[in-house]
Amino acid sequence: MASYFSAEEIADLHRHRQEIHQRFRALQEPFMTYNFTNVGAREHAQHGFCRRLHTLAQSIDHVFEMLPPEREDIPELQEVTAATIAIQAFTMNAFGCLENLAWIWVLEKNVKGKSGLELKPKDIGLGKPYVQQSFSTSFRAFLESRKEWLGHLINFRDSLAHRIPLYIPPYVIPEDKFDEYKKLEGEALGERGRADPKEYRRLREEQRKLCRFQPWMTHSIYDKAPLVVFHSQLVNDYVTIDEYGWRMLEELD
- Specify the pTM: 0.89
Q: What confidence tier does 2 reach under pLDDT thresholds 50, 70, 90?
A: low
pLDDT of residue 14: 96
Yes or no: say if 40 and 103 are a contact pair by the CB < 8 Å rule.
Answer: yes
Q: Which of 183, 168, 214 is nearest to 3 (CA)?
A: 214
Classify burial at 147, counting beta carbons within 10 Å of its beta carbon; exposed 0-12, middle 13-18, buried 19 or more.
exposed
Yes or no: say if 169 and 175 are a contact pair by the CB < 8 Å rule.
Answer: no
Query: How far apart, in whole angstroms, are the C-alpha atoms of residue 70 and residue 72?
Result: 6
Which amino acid, residue 140? Answer: R
Average pLDDT of the segment spanning 55-69: 97
pLDDT of residue 181: 74
Q: What confidence tier does 1 reach under pLDDT thresholds 50, 70, 90?
A: low
Yes or no: say if 174 and 81 are a contact pair by the CB < 8 Å rule.
Answer: no
Q: pLDDT for 173-225, tens place per residue?
A: 878 888 887 887 787 787 776 777 888 888 888 878 878 888 999 888 777 77
Average pLDDT of the segment spanning 233-248: 98
Q: pLDDT for 74-125, tens place per residue?
A: 999 999 999 999 999 999 999 999 999 999 999 999 999 998 899 999 999 9
Q: Which of 83, 25, 93 is nearest to 231 (CA)?
A: 83
- What is the average pLDDT value for the chain, to the nearest integer? 92
- Which are the contacts of 140, defined by CB distance < 8 A and separation ≥ 6? 132
